[in-house]
Amino acid sequence: MTTETPMTTTSSTLDIGGLEAVYDRLAQAIDTAGEAKAPLFLVKLALLNAQALGDATLFAAHVDAALQDL
Amino acid sequence: MHQPDATPRHSIYYRYQVHAPWLPAAGSAQPRVPVVIVGSGPAGMVTALELARHGVPSVVLESELQVSLGSRAIVFTRRSMEILQQVGVAARMTEAGLPWRNGNSFYRGQRVFRMAAPHDPDDRFFPMLNIQQQSLEEFLVDACKAQPLIDFRWGNKVTAIAQHADHAVLTVDTPAGDYTLPADWVVAADGGRSPLRSMLDLKLEGASYEGFFVIADIRVDLPLPTERLAFFDPDWNPGNTVLMHREPHGIWRVDYQLPTGETPEQALKPESLKARIDATLAMVGHAGAPWEMDWASVYSARTLTLPDYRSGRVLFTGDAAHLLPIFGVRGANTAFQDAQSLGWHLAHVVKGLAGERLLANYSAERVGAAREIIDEAGKSTRFMTPPTRGFQLLRDAVLSLSLQHDFVRPLYHWRTSRPHEYTHSMLNATGDDDGLFTAGPARGAPPRNVRLGADDFLLDHLGGGFELLLFNPAGAVPAPLLAEVDAVRARGVAVRITAIGTAAVQGADQCFADADGHVRARYGVPGSGGAYLLRPDQHVCARWLTLDATRLRAAFAQALPQ
């Protein structure tokens, strides 16, 4: 079953191939950054993505979603 | 018995003058005075000078015999200079100070942000002026001495206060013993550690940030312009921030954050100061440059304010009322705005021209300003000295991204002190035309300066009372308006009528031809008949596209509540 996440407002989403590519790329990048620098890397990435998203409200919804079930 | 230090303070560039203490005549009772000002820092002296300008005498009590130890406040904003112009010391400040407008932020040896503060040809003063606080205080002391309404008492230390329904009684200690001084009103301008605040058991509200900074003044010859230099995470001080400013007399202010856990005592050890100042000079490309220490101190960022600046007969102002972060030059620059505000509010109450509600308005406006500053400065503080792991990560991410990405660079903006707009002041007119204007300073805003000619600006001609600006009147101020102004004047309120756009106007106190309509444009007045009413602190309290006597009467009634 697929459900639309409520925070998604753009029509373009990743297909499974795209999502798998992101999955691998991000995992490798976290390893490349190393344990000490991984948080810094992830914050930089989040800021770059937020800027590309161009929507502070949508970004806040993503933050809330990511804080769930930690 | 109070024994203030009579040895001149040490400085390698400033000659301290030790003033003679004021001693009470034995056995003579001190008469009750309208206003006693406790403290002769920038806030106390500007309050005294403003009161005097409105004809109100004051006694200034200063526990020391000399001006400020060390340079302390060194950066003064344009609005501060406009206020200092009102009390007569701007020319000396301009002559002795270093004007500037550019700020730079560096990370990993790269200048990642540069910002020029706006400098309009219509402004007389630069966005910023660097000068040491001792010099500023010296100019203010001279201005106070020249003012017969100010009774300046060096070496007088307040040791107790008793509050009564309509006055307070101060106990004042001097080198000749103590005396009591009754006053209708007491101004607490006794600084960040305010003894009066403690005596009255009043508590500041807000936050204190961890993390200490050293400020050190050194004499060194650096071929660098007068600009703000901020270094983030430099090699010699990882994770921390270093700031530099040029001061007059060949002095540089070096300001650096201490590593977590280091105490102020450790940081102020000569060998620690030497190593870090040497490292700072190396960082700016001048390793080994000879330098000499003048003064060093330690501070931490705090965002604290009293919730009410009136307590019985005591009115708080400046650092006694609030402690604001150094980032964005918020200390003295806020104090000038407080003092200018308190001066006219209190003067009008003392003279019976308004009720004590006016003092509640002083508190409401300036507490509001402090809270706005706390909110704004909090952002700078969280960037300069991140309080948590989250803020640290975000700040570090921004530093890292700023090397290659423009969009994060404005986050380096240092949010300099600016005048508060009293948008919601109870003194603002309610039935004026503010909402119909599309330009010009709005209700509650500070005035806008306008260049009238060579070395001649609009604000040179305004201040000291209410100002009614009439735009493009015909040959005479309309008789009903003039009658209304005369009725207000008859109560003892100072009001000046300034005609703009007409070279000669009967009934106006001064006229500016404004041949090119530039003043009118700056004030957003679309045609003839427009008018502004400015309070004695020059802030707008009403503006109209068309003005009649009824509307003017309503505005004065609002601005001077009984």
Q: Which residues pair with B495 in a beta bridge?
A: B466
Shortest distance between the Cα of B408 and any Cα of chain A, in A, equals 9
Pairing verdict, β B314-316 and B310-311: antiparallel
Chain B residue numbers with beta carbons less than 8 Å from the beta carbon of A48 are 401, 405
pTM of the model: 0.94
Chain A residue numbers with beta carbons less than 8 Å from the beta carbon of B401 are 44, 47-48
The whole-angstrom separation of Cα B537 and Cα A36 is 54
By CA distance, what is A42's nearest residue in B? B397
The whole-angstrom separation of Cα B450 and Cα B454 is 12
Which of A43, A48, A51 is closest, CB to CB, to B393? Answer: A43
Q: Helix, strand or coil for residue B74?
A: coil
And the tokens for B114? 């540069």
CA angle B542, B351, B485 (to 5 degrees): 40
Chain B residue numbers with beta carbons less than 8 Å from the beta carbon of A36 are none
Classify residue A58: in a domain, yes or no.
Answer: yes
Classify residue A46: in a domain, yes or no.
Answer: yes
The pLDDT of residue A10: 52
The pLDDT of residue A11: 55
B400 with A40: Cβ contact below 8 A: yes
Interface pTM, i.e. ipTM? 0.86
The whole-angstrom separation of Cα B249 and Cα B234 is 27
The whole-angstrom separation of Cα B84 and Cα B97 is 13
Chain A residue numbers with beta carbons less than 8 Å from the beta carbon of B408 are 47
Chain A residue numbers with beta carbons less than 8 Å from the beta carbon of B400 are 40, 44
And the tokens for B289? 């440059």
Q: What is the mean pLDDT of each run of 10 residues along chain B (562 residues)?
A: 96 98 86 98 98 98 97 95 98 98 95 93 97 98 98 98 98 96 98 97 90 94 96 94 96 94 94 97 97 95 94 98 86 96 98 97 97 87 88 96 95 83 96 96 97 96 96 93 98 98 94 95 93 97 97 97 93
Q: Does A52 touch chain B (CB under 8 A)?
A: no
Report yes or no: B1 and B173 within 8 Å, Cβ to Cβ. yes
Q: Does A19 touch chain B (CB under 8 A)?
A: no
A47 with B396: Cβ contact below 8 A: no
- From the list B187, B129, B122, the residue with the least C-alpha distance to B158 is B187
Classify residue A65: in a domain, yes or no.
Answer: yes
- From the list B369, B367, B373, the residue with the least C-alpha distance to B417 is B373
Torsions phi, psi of B234, nearest 5? -70, 160
B393 with A40: Cβ contact below 8 A: yes
Q: What is the DSSP string of B9-66?
A: PP-SS--PPPPPPP-PPTTPPPPPEEEEEE--SHHHHHHHHHHHHTT--EEEEESSSS
Classify residue A48: in a domain, yes or no.
Answer: yes
Q: Helix, strand or coil for residue B282?
A: helix
The whole-angstrom separation of Cα B508 and Cα B518 is 20
A47 with B393: Cβ contact below 8 A: no
Q: Does A27 touch chain B (CB under 8 A)?
A: no
Q: Does A37 touch chain B (CB under 8 A)?
A: no
A43 with B397: Cβ contact below 8 A: yes
And the tokens for B220? 């060194």
A47 with B400: Cβ contact below 8 A: no
Chain A residue numbers with beta carbons less than 8 Å from the beta carbon of B397 are 40, 43-44, 46-47
Shortest distance between the Cα of A49 and any Cα of chain B, in A, equals 12
Report yes or no: B541 and B443 within 8 Å, Cβ to Cβ. yes
By CA distance, what is A44's nearest residue in B? B397
Shortest distance between the Cα of A62 and any Cα of chain B, in A, equals 17
Most A CBs within 10 A among B107, B389, B392, B401, hence the mutation to make, goes to: B401
Q: Does A36 touch chain B (CB under 8 A)?
A: no
Pairing verdict, β B102-107 and B228-232: parallel
Report yes or no: B535 and B427 within 8 Å, Cβ to Cβ. yes
Pairing verdict, β B157-163 and B168-174: antiparallel
What is the number of structural domains in chain A?
Answer: 1
Q: Which residues of B507-545 are buried (b: 16+ CB within 10 A; e: fewer)?
A: bbeebbebeeeebbebbbbeeebbbbbbbbbbbbbbbbb
Report yes or no: B59 and B34 within 8 Å, Cβ to Cβ. no
And the tokens for B398? 């921004």
In order of their start, the domains of chain B are: 33-95+121-204+303-364 (3.50.50.60), 206-300 (3.30.9.10), 434-559 (3.40.30.120)
Q: Strand locations in B58-149, DSSP E?
A: 58-62, 75-77, 98-100, 102-107, 110-116, 128-130
Q: Which residues of chain B have a Cβ shorter than 8 Å from any chain A Cβ?
A: 393-394, 396-398, 400-401, 405, 407-408
Shortest distance between the Cα of A20 and any Cα of chain B, in A, equals 26
The pLDDT of residue B419: 87
Q: Does A51 touch chain B (CB under 8 A)?
A: yes
Q: Does A49 touch chain B (CB under 8 A)?
A: no
Q: What share of chain B is helix, strand, coil (3-state, %, to 5)?
A: 30, 25, 45
Classify residue A67: in a domain, yes or no.
Answer: yes
Task: Please count the other Cβ atoms lying within 10 Å of the Cβ belonging to residue B233.
Answer: 17
Q: Helix, strand or coil for residue B470?
A: strand
B397 with A51: Cβ contact below 8 A: no
Chain B residue numbers with beta carbons less than 8 Å from the beta carbon of A46 are 397
The whole-angstrom separation of Cα B488 and Cα A4 is 69
Chain B residue numbers with beta carbons less than 8 Å from the beta carbon of A44 are 397, 400-401
Chain A residue numbers with beta carbons less than 8 Å from the beta carbon of B398 are 47
Whole-Å CA distances, A16 to A7, A9, A30, B93, B456: 19, 19, 21, 68, 71
Shortest distance between the Cα of A37 and any Cα of chain B, in A, equals 10
Residue where the block lists tokens 């060579």:
B454
Classify residue A69: in a domain, yes or no.
Answer: yes
Residue where the block lists tokens 């309309």:
B478
Classify residue A24: in a domain, yes or no.
Answer: no
By CA distance, what is A45's nearest residue in B? B397
Classify residue A52: in a domain, yes or no.
Answer: yes
Sheet holding B291-305, edge to edge: B110-116, B102-107, B228-232, B241-247, B251-257, B205-220, B291-305, B322-323
**Is the pLDDT reported for residue A3 higher than 60?**
no
Biggest CA pair distance of chain B:
75
Task: Please count the other Cβ atoms lying within 10 Å of the Cβ belonging to residue B455.
Answer: 8
Q: Which residues pair with B33 in a beta bridge?
A: B183
By CA distance, what is A51's nearest residue in B? B407
Shortest distance between the Cα of B267 and any Cα of chain A, in A, equals 29
Q: Does A39 touch chain B (CB under 8 A)?
A: yes
- From the list B303, B281, B306, the residue with the least C-alpha distance to B291 is B281
Structural domain including A46 reads 36-70
Mean pLDDT of the residues in chain A: 89
Q: Helix, strand or coil for residue B142?
A: helix
Handedness of CA B296, B300, B306, B311 (dihedral sign): negative
By CA distance, what is B402's nearest residue in A? A44
Q: Does A67 touch chain B (CB under 8 A)?
A: no
